[in-house]
Amino acid sequence: MTLTELVAISSHPPSSSGASASPEAYISLHDLHSFTQTSTFKKSCTPSNSLAISPTHIFAAQSDKTVLNVYNRTKNSLETTVPLPEQLTAVTCSSNGGIVAMGTASGRVNIWETSSGRYTSTPLSHLQKITSISIDPTSTFLLTGSLDTNILVWSIPHLLLPSSAKKPLRTLEYHQQPIISVLCGHGTGPSALAISAAADSSVIVWNYQDGSLLRTFTLSSVPTCLALDPVDRGFYVGFSDGSIQQVEFSKVGNRTVELGNGTTSPAESSSGGDGERSYDSPLYRADERHIPIATSGNGSKWTAEGHDTAVTTMDVVFQGNYLVAGTESGSVNVWDAATGQLFRTLTTYKAPISNVKILPPTGFSEDTVTTSQLTIIPPRYHEAVKASSGNQVDVDTTLPPMSLQFHNALNPTPDPFSPASDLDAIKRGIAYFNSPATANSTNSVKGDQITITEFKSSEDAEKIETLEKELATMKERYKRLNEVHKQTWEEHTKWVMEVDKEKAEKMKEMGPEGMEE
């Protein structure tokens, strides 16, 4: 059975159109073996770092709307449009599509569990908009990069925990300019790493599990995009002049290590400065961690005649032998990683390319086992919209018992917001008031006072009696105050009339001559 490897491509709208409804703004899937287009998802204007792909669905933020488009890959159509409280600037998902993480323009992180509809939002942890977001292979850690120059590391289980503080585990702060891209490596455990590129012309490799900086690479100019090797052997950087640079971790610093053959020099096989790691990889030399490495001598830049527009996005295929890069001019090119030569142009859009995503290959023997289609449940964020002015939102974070999850898949529960559910609620209310428990309720009318007493319990009766006494006392005090006010007003009126009368009599006695004097 042959392997099938697809690449997903999205674009910005053409400058002449400027709207996602333009036919030139769409998402397409291409086969990297036959170089043919296999699927098209129209009317999607997706910004950079805002396209996420799962085995069954595509999640695409829209640059001109506060919505997230969800496409069904099996049906090749738009399944649903999810409205959101604010503009999305970065989107990613777990490998199985069960968790969708979104970064917003205000610096907030939203988590959506697609299998249950749970939706949670963090406080404003970033000072500016989030530019990049990435989930580790185990779906345990989430990394967010922002214009505020910081990278935050989050625990996904902690974010989904009901009533949790929704705070990041740690902050990775060493860049001096806005973050352009942040990527989690493909390894797990102690070898797990992340890589980030920033506008300060630097790329940093991190151990995001403990927050330590491993190595810093300085570039010749500001990078525009970043890609990581499939087995974390190095990274690729794109630039605004259309060039691409490859940096290998085994060829950094003053020492070169041939990784994978088990042979090292005596100096490199000695223990590291931290006493825990050996010099089997230049990334983990503790005595050199804070020494920046200039990448000018680490491989020449890849260039091709006629390709001088900015590289906007790129990704590496499963075997690591080809790099697929999108450009500002709308072309998607395939580069040979071994030679650094342009292999061919895959396709050309009429708009700048915003995202290039290599999908995991299919066709392995274990892929013959079919899995059920994942049903996407829209996020339940009704209260989140109302609380958009608050600092934190945590809505519908209670999962049903495991035994009910499979039962509900076969017998879905009715929509709690449907007219039928409202009618059921009204019927339950009528039945409650007609029940024997409320039959002893008495209503009495005395003058302009209506007293309603429900003898549900002796404690309720005592509370109601106390409140009625307090109300009667307040009415008596108000009556007395009203009488005092009325008496005061009458005395004041009488005094004014007496004053005017005396003045009138005096003026009458003085006569006109006295008044003139």
Question: With bands split at pLDDT 50, 70 and 90, how would you rate the model's confidence at 475?
Answer: confident
Residue pair 89/102 in contact (Cβ under 8 Å)? The answer is: no
Report the alpha-carbon distance of residue 108 to residue 271 in Å, rounded: 42
Q: Is residue 171 part of a domain?
A: no
**Number of CB atoms found within 10 A of residue 232's CB:** 18
The pLDDT of residue 253 is 55
304-359 pLDDT per residue, tens: 888 889 999 999 999 999 999 999 999 999 999 999 999 999 999 988 999 999 99
Percent of the chain residues past pLDDT 90, beyond the cut:
45
* Residue 49 included in any domain: yes
Output the pLDDT for position 145: 96
Q: What is the pLDDT of residue 219?
A: 93
Q: Per-residue pLDDT averaged across 488-505, rounded?
A: 66
Pairing state between β 293-294 and 223-228: unpaired
Note down the domain range covering 476: 457-516
366-391 pLDDT per residue, tens: 655 555 457 888 888 654 444 444 44
DSSP structure class, residue 309: S
| 295 assigned to some structural domain | no
Q: What is the 3-state secondary structure (H, E, C) of 445-497?
A: EECCEEEEECCCCHHHHHHHHHHHHHHHHHHHHHHHHHHHHHHHHHHHHHHHH
In this predicted structure, what is the pLDDT of residue 88?
Answer: 94
Residue 32, domain member (yes or no): yes
Q: Which of 357, 379, 401 lies at the terminal end of a domain, its last residue?
A: 379
Residue 408, CA atoms < 13 Å, CB-side half-sphere: 14
**Assigned token pair, 358:** 């290599």
Domain total of the chain: 2
Distance CA 426, CA 216 (A): 65
pLDDT (tens digit, 9 = 90+) per residue, 144-177? 999 999 999 999 999 988 878 889 999 999 999 9
Which pLDDT belongs to residue 266? 40
What is the model's pLDDT at position 381? 67
Max Cα distance, the chain (Å):
131
What is the model's pLDDT at position 477? 82
Question: Which distant-in-sequence residues (6+ apart) come within 8 Å of 466 by Cβ?
Answer: none
Do the Cβ atoms of 156 and 208 come closer than 8 Å? no
pLDDT (0 to 100) of residue 98: 92
- How does pLDDT run across 390-414, given as a tens digit for each residue? 445 444 444 444 443 444 444 444 5
What is the pLDDT at residue 442?
44
Confidence of residue 432 (pLDDT cuts 50, 70, 90): low
Residue 356 lies in a domain: yes
Residues of the chain with pLDDT > 70, as a percent, come to 69
The predicted structure's pLDDT at residue 459:
67
At 185 the pLDDT is 93
* 89 belongs to a structural domain: no
Question: Does the structure show a pLDDT above 90 at 226?
Answer: yes
Confidence (pLDDT) at 314: 96
Q: Per the domain annotation, does 353 fall within a domain?
A: yes
Contacts (Cβ under 8 Å, ≥6 apart) of 334: 32, 322, 323, 324, 342, 343, 344, 345, 346
Q: What confidence category does residue 21 fall into, taking pLDDT thresholds of 50, 70 and 90?
A: very low
| Position 284 pLDDT exceeds 50 | yes
With 50 as the cut, is the pLDDT of residue 275 above it?
A: no
- Identify the residue with better confidence: 366 or 229: 229
Confidence at 490, pLDDT banded by 50, 70, 90: confident
Residue 122 DSSP label: -
What b/e readout covers 314-327, taking b as 16+ CB neighbours within 10 angstroms? Answer: bbbbeeeebbbbbb
Task: Tell whether 262 is covered by a domain.
Answer: no
In the predicted structure, residue 25 carries a pLDDT above the cut 50: yes
Query: Model confidence over 85-130: pLDDT tens digits?
Result: 889 999 999 998 999 999 999 999 999 999 888 899 998 889 999 9
